[in-house]
A and B are shown apart, each in its own frame.
Chain A
Amino acid sequence: MVRFENVGMRYGMGPEVLRDISFHLSPGSFHFLTGPTGAGKSSLLKLLALSHRPSRGLVTLFNKEVSTLVRDDLPAMRRKIGVVYQEFRLLDHLSAMDNVALPLKIAGAKDARIYQHVAELLEWVGLGNQIDAKPPTLSGGEKQRVAIARAVINRPQLLIADEPTGSMDAEMGLRLMHLFQELNKIGTTVVVATHDLDMIQRFGNPVMFLKDGLLTTRGPEKLPRHFSENGA
């Protein structure tokens, strides 16, 4: 499903923010990605979401090596990946329904099919009564659920979430994590980046721990109790 081999990444001529990253995610797995602030979590997610290319090493997604992809191949690959951003990245002028429908519309699906699926999905994430609401009128938790619905409407094989519970209370965060679990149960590979060590402990899934651009995989029990203010 996902394979990184000695991957490095830098922005422009700057220093490497990721160094010698190697890991493998099997289909249907559920991983947390954590580490102190500035460790490179967002950069790693950018590589997974095909929003950046690695500076070196091999990234293989869905059995295709990313560096060999031509530009026209990228949209089809990205439709297999759902991304949930901490800051939601919804289009404020579109309703919840239109935001969620966007990936299907872009993929060229027929209108009737789009809106039937979208309505069902919004019902599933608990926003059945908010389909016409625009993002500025929604709470943080509601926006995040719209973002999740948009990320999964194409039934992606890989779901990436960057601090999905960062902008909501613990109870809402827990409910969102249960949504991810449900998606994982139907075969979606899930990677959730989070600072929330308590949540990682609670769910018990494997953890990819990033520090100073280096990645290690460990069980939740081997994580530090907390991250210090200076990112150590």
Chain B
Amino acid sequence: MISLFGKSAELQLEKDVSTRYLPVVIAAMIFLAALAIGGLFSLHNAIGNWSETLTGNLTVEIAYDPAADLDKKVAEAVKLLSETPGVTSARAIGKEETHALLAPFLGKNAALDELPVPRLIEVIIEEGNAVDLRALNEKLAGAVPGASLDIHRPWLNKMVTLGHSVQLLAAAIMLLIGVVTVIIVIFAVRTGLVMHAEVIQVLHLIGAHDKYIAEQFQNYFSRLSFLGALPGLVVAVIVMFIFNFLVGSLESSMLPPLTLEPAGIVALLLLPFLIALLTRFTVRLVVMRSLARMM
């Protein structure tokens, strides 16, 4: 670590004005990267949760009909479903529970009793059992007028596709951040090479290898990147906490909170080291190539 972050004894890169703002730029990049990672992992978790919840989970909807005895219809449907092979359970969802499900969208004070709310039955399919859902739907509609089977799959598929698209976008943002960081570092290093050309020439003439000079640039720029990354990461974590707090305080939010799980936390903690390594590799490449053009 000492050699990784050692000072540039001869080149005095620490005194360069041109690189003074590099940590600020790196901090901004790491802030964006950390948020992208947060989004990436949160979406991954959310998609997993949606799939887990909705796979093998069906809903039977019995349309609102003021003239019909809805409780009787529900009982008939539950009986039919419970007797169907492959169905683990069929549970009628009570009025109050239905109202609780609607509350996030309509508000707690909405006059739900006055609305034509359909009656719902939660159906759990036995794991690994292939129930013919189309046949079941037809059978149900014949036995209980107004009943229909909602298998959630089309909605889930759309949500999963959306989730994956946003994940791809987050990954693309990460890539873009990496590319921009590399370009900024390249410009800063080239400026440094020009500013210190005379000392570099002296070092060469007294027998310095290119890698001796490159190491001074590598150490200095890695240190700048690492030190810039830390505040960027801290601010991003604070922003994530604030976001989660705001999401939690919303009554009818469809937004998933930012949840990272261990893999996401490790990815965030690795960010400063990865940016330092990326900088080190970039600087070495640029310096070695530039020095190779000298005698």
Contact = CB atoms under 8 A, between A and B. Distances in A.
Interface of A: 49-53, 71-72, 74-76, 78-79, 83, 89, 91, 93-94, 102-103, 106-107, 150, 154
B205 A106 contact: no
B210 A94 contact: no
Contact of B206 (A53, A71, A72, A103): A103
Contacts of A106: 203, 206-208, 212
Contacts of B201: 51
Given A79-B206, A79-B207, 20 more contacts: A49-B205, A51-B204, A51-B205, A51-B295, A72-B209, A74-B204, A78-B204, A78-B205, A91-B199, A93-B12, A94-B10, A102-B10, A102-B203, A102-B206, A106-B203, A106-B206, A106-B207, A150-B206, A154-B206, A154-B207
Contact of A78 (B10, B206, B210): B206
Nearest 8 A/B pairs, CB to CB:
A79-B207, A103-B206, A75-B207, A78-B207, A106-B208, A75-B209, A89-B202, A106-B207
| B interface secondary structure, majority | helix
Size bracket of the B interface: 10 to 19
21 contacts: A50-B205, A50-B295, A51-B295, A52-B295, A71-B210, A71-B292, A72-B209, A74-B204, A75-B207, A75-B208, A83-B205, A83-B206, A89-B202, A91-B10, A91-B199, A102-B203, A103-B206, A103-B207, A106-B207, A106-B208, A107-B207
B71 interface: no
A89 B12 CA distance: 15
A83 B203 CA distance: 12
Contact of B198 (A50, A89, A93, A107): A89
A75 B294 CA distance: 13
Contacts of A150: 206
Interface of B: 10, 12, 198-199, 201-210, 212, 292, 295
Contacts of B212: 106
Contacts of B295: 50-53, 74
A210 to B, nearest CB: 21
A134 to B, nearest CB: 13
A117 to B, nearest CB: 15
A187 B201 CA distance: 27
A55 to B, nearest CB: 13
Nearest to B208: A106
Of B208, B210, B212, B292, most buried by chain A (CB within 10 Å of CB) is B208
Contacts of B208: 75, 106
A75 B199 CA distance: 15
B201 to A, nearest CB: 7
A49 B205 CA distance: 7
Contacts of A107: 207
A54 to B, nearest CB: 11
Nearest to A85: B202
